Amino acid sequence: MDASMKRNARAWVFIAWAALILLLANFANAGQEVEFTYNGRVKHNGDPFDGAGYFKFALVDQAGQTTYWSNDSTSAEGGEPTGYVTSQVIDGFFNVAIGDTLAGMDPLIPTVFNEDERIYLRVWFSHDLGSPFQCLAPDRRVVNPALLGQQSFDEGITLYVDAENGDDSNNGLTTDTAKQSIQAAWNTIPGVVKHATTIQIADGVYREALELDSKTVVGGTTISFVGNVAQPELVRITGAEADAETTPVLECGLRLIDQDGIQISGVLIDYFQNSGISTSYSSVIVQNCKIMHVSKGIFAYNKSTIQMSNVEISAPLSGYETLIWGVTGRNFCYFTLDSCSISDFTHGIDVGNCCVIDKLYGCTINNCAMAIFTQANSICSFGAPSTTISNYTCGIRGTTNSSYTQCDEVTFDGSGTDYIVDSGGVVTGF
């Protein structure tokens, strides 16, 4: 194609690359085929294109002179494949799974990504089959191909993080190539997670506020953050800076938004202005962790599910004396607390608007003015072994149609009022 033809071609098609998101494949044979998603935007004559778009794909080296794979295996030396695939484009946006055999592509074998060279995606596009295909520039680098190159997705993925020795430019697949930040490891995880994924966190200090969202877990799969279960204080996620260790500058330690399948174990979360862990429309299991020096230990809202075991929430942040809560739930949240301890907060547990605590057992709630407060149609159910409430002004309060059950599994140890029921609260078993 001569220069004038190239200029004319560029006048009618424009591509704005959005992202390359790595996805695990549906395996016909476990570990034999992979896919990743290519998102983009097409404009025709300056306007977002709508309709059937026609695409060709090849994986090439950085120089673009070696082809590792193409959609029909006909590309050579970075050249245009013969066959094409069709993808619907809506308001200029499209989404194609590279290696999707159901869309008519040849299978993408993971050994492609074991090459020492960096891997790039080259794309050709046509808005109708009567026009030539245009090669879209530049080629886009495939992010972290080592994940796709792994042969054992059926056994799960482990990513390593090391604050002292890691580097976020590493692939994170070994201790020697660990990421430096937990967020970078999270960002590396495929957008769709079909096999168990573990982020293994080395002892150290991690000064970051984690945003956990945009991952879809399939079939009960979990994404686990694993620190030091025996000594969680050795894996510290903190909102304080090195030169002012007791002054929080970040708002929240781990924020989950519309994110399921998360497990957190063996970490200390401290010195955040607001909450240690915050959830919305999410589910999380928290085990063998400590949360300290925050105004709210765990704050769940909007249909979140929180399962806690062997979690210590204590030493609330100073300066927030009237707004400090150990565990808080709002709007249809579900909790279980097993062998947890909450101390020194204004409210140890505070839930409202149709929240459920089922079960609360083997816990200690100490030195909280209001140990447990339920309101607005919320429920708290105790279980064996007994929970101990000590050093309180009011041990349990229920208001506005909230209720407590199996209350014989509560031990009060203090001189305050053991329980108060008002405004339609219902308490049985005391």
Candidates 271, 267, 291, 159; CA nearest to 204 is: 267
- For 383-417, the DSSP string reads ESSPEEEES-SEEEEE-TT-EEE-GGGEEEESSSE
Q: What is the structure's pLDDT at 332?
A: 97
Tell me the sheet residues that pair with 147. none
Dihedral in degrees, nearest 10, Cα atoms 261, 196, 275, 357: 40
Give CATH 2.160.20.10 domain extents, the chain.
151-427
Q: 330-366, pLDDT tens digit by residue?
A: 999 999 999 999 999 999 999 999 999 999 999 999 9
Q: 149-198, pLDDT tens digit by residue?
A: 553 445 678 899 999 999 988 878 889 989 999 999 998 887 778 788 99
Calpha distance 288→226 (Å, rounded): 10
Q: Where are the alpha helices (DSSP H) in 81-195?
A: 145-149, 182-188
Q: 224-263, pLDDT tens digit by residue?
A: 999 999 999 999 999 999 999 999 999 999 999 999 999 9
Calpha distance 132→335 (Å, rounded): 59
∠ CA 50-51-54, nearest 5°, is 115
CA torsion sign for 198, 221, 267, 340 is negative
Residue indicated by tokens 């781990």: 254
Encoding tokens for residue 102? Answer: 């159901």
Residue 207 has pLDDT above 60, yes or no: yes
| Amino acid making up residue 228 | N
CA 132 to chain centre: 42
End-to-end CA distance of the chain: 86
Residue 38 has pLDDT above 80, yes or no: yes
Encoding tokens for residue 338? Answer: 């097993």
Calpha distance 52→88 (Å, rounded): 5
Calpha distance 147→128 (Å, rounded): 35
Is residue 377 classed exposed, middle or buried when 0-12, 13-18 and 19+ CB atoms within 10 A define those classes?
A: middle
Give CATH 2.60.40 domain extents, the chain.
3-145
CATH architecture of the domain covering 151-427: 3 Solenoid (2.160)
Calpha distance 284→4 (Å, rounded): 58
Calpha distance 34→328 (Å, rounded): 41
Asked if residue 55 lies in contact with residue 85, where contact means CB atoms within 8 angstroms, the answer is yes
Q: pLDDT category, 29, cuts 50, 70, 90? A: very low
Q: What is the structure's pLDDT at 283?
A: 98
The number of C-alpha atoms within 13 Å of 399 and in the hemisphere containing its C-beta is 9
**Right CATH for 3-145 from 2.60.40, 2.40.50, 1.10.10, 3.30.70:** 2.60.40
Candidates 313, 307, 255, 299; CA nearest to 283 is: 307
User: If you ran DSSP here, which 8-state letter would residue 146 be given?
Assistant: H
pLDDT > 70 fraction of the chain, expressed in percent and rounded: 86
